Amino acid sequence: MADSPAGFIRTQFNRFVLGGYRPLQSVGECVQSLFYLHNELFNILSHGLPILFFAKYATDDQTWSQISYSWLAYLNYAACLSPHLGSVAYHLFMNHRSGAWAYFRLLKLDMCGVWAVQTFGALTTIYATFYCNKLLQASMMTIYILVSSWTLYEAVHATSVYKRMCSFAVQVAIRLLTLLVRLSPLGYGNPYSTKHTFLMDAIAISGGVINLLRVPERFWPGKFDYFLNSHNIMHIMTTIGVFHMHWGAVGDIIWASQYQCNV
């Protein structure tokens, strides 16, 4: 399926994915589609399985128990879960028989999940990077939250994949600026977390570009209908990026709980 300016749904959301589409279905039939092969099954499972990890194992981890008192830890937890929850709902029920009405609302829910991971996930990095300059720390976090509010509006009202990607550009720019400050003598934060901060965005953005370019199915239409098309690859890279975000956030939160600024 694909959104269009006219507001209707086409049966084919990727013109290079030729088969494996489900018909319009009821809620129960959409759930039953978890048990047979179709071209959305990989998308559902690749974001559904990480939910089980973050819902169970992340909270049982010894490192997590050290930071569970922190409000930043709860933001990070929400950031880890949100994109996967929104994505699973979107891909599982996108072919609901309600048609365009259901599809576009599920798409907005998916965008809210993407927004949540980029918004909540970055706050820990900003907090740690400007840790010993409380005025600048508060200013940067406030600016990022305000920019993120505008981003959310743009993302849920975008009418194409390209416009949805562009709606997050200012957020990415602020995170890049934060990373540059972090690498400079003016920045703070756990050195261990810096590489994860970089990899989080580098991997996720690369996945988004692959999805936008429709690679590799563009070159072999119909050969990647079920596995390893551009959207599948983006899902894998997004999940890897979320893990890097989680590892980086855990390191920063533990560092912030122990570091003493020279005032």
Q: Domain of 116: which CATH number?
A: 1.20.1070
Average pLDDT of the residues in 115-143: 97
d(CA 45, CA 157): 27
Number of domains in the chain: 1
pLDDT at residue 257 is higher than 90 = no
Residue stretches of the annotated binding site for Zn(2+):
91, 231, 235
Give 2's strand partners.
10
Phi, psi for residue 96 in degrees, rounded to 5: -60, 145
pLDDT over 60 (residue 9): no
C-alpha distance from residue 67 to each of 70, 130, 224, 251, 257 (Å): 6, 19, 42, 10, 8
pLDDT of residue 7: 36
11 occurs within a structural domain = no
Q: Residue 136: pLDDT above 70?
A: yes
In a domain, 35, yes or no: yes
Residue 67: predicted pLDDT: 64
Evaluate if residue 21 carries a pLDDT over 60.
yes
- Environment class of residue 175 by beta-carbon count within 10 Å: exposed (0-12), middle (13-18) or buried (19+)? buried
CA torsion 183→185→191→195, rounded to 10°?
Answer: 0
Query: Considering the chain, what is the average pLDDT of its residues?
Result: 91
Least confident of 17-21, 73-77, 230-234: 73-77
The answer to the question of residue 3 being in a domain is no
| pLDDT tens, position by position, 143-174 | 999 999 999 999 999 999 899 999 999 999 99
Residue at 147 is within a domain:
yes
Which parts are annotated binding residues?
91, 231, 235
Predicted local confidence at residue 2, as pLDDT:
39
Q: Look at residue 5 and tell me if it is in a domain.
A: no
pLDDT of residue 61: 57
User: Can you give the pLDDT at residue 214?
Assistant: 96
Residue 64 vs residue 41, higher pLDDT = 41
In angstroms, the CA 208 to CA 48 distance is: 19
**Is-contact 109 139, C-beta < 8 A?**
no
**Higher-confidence residue: 12 or 17?**
17
Q: How confident is the model at residue 63 (pLDDT cuts 50, 70, 90)?
A: low
pLDDT greater than 70 at residue 142: yes
Q: Is the pLDDT of residue 11 over 50?
A: no
- Give the domain extent around 143: 27-258
pTM of the entire predicted model: 0.91
Name the residue among 72, 114, 64 with its Cα closest to residue 90: 114
The pLDDT of residue 73: 86
> How far apart are alpha carbons 35 and 32 in whole angstroms?
6
Per-residue confidence (pLDDT) for residue 74, from 0 to 100: 86
Q: Answer yes or no: is pLDDT of 55 > 90.
A: no
Residue 8 falls within a domain, yes or no? no
In a domain, 122, yes or no: yes
Largest CA distance in the chain: 64
pLDDT tens readout for residues 83-107: 999 999 999 999 999 999 999 999 9
Residue 6: predicted pLDDT: 35
Structural domain contains residue 15:
no
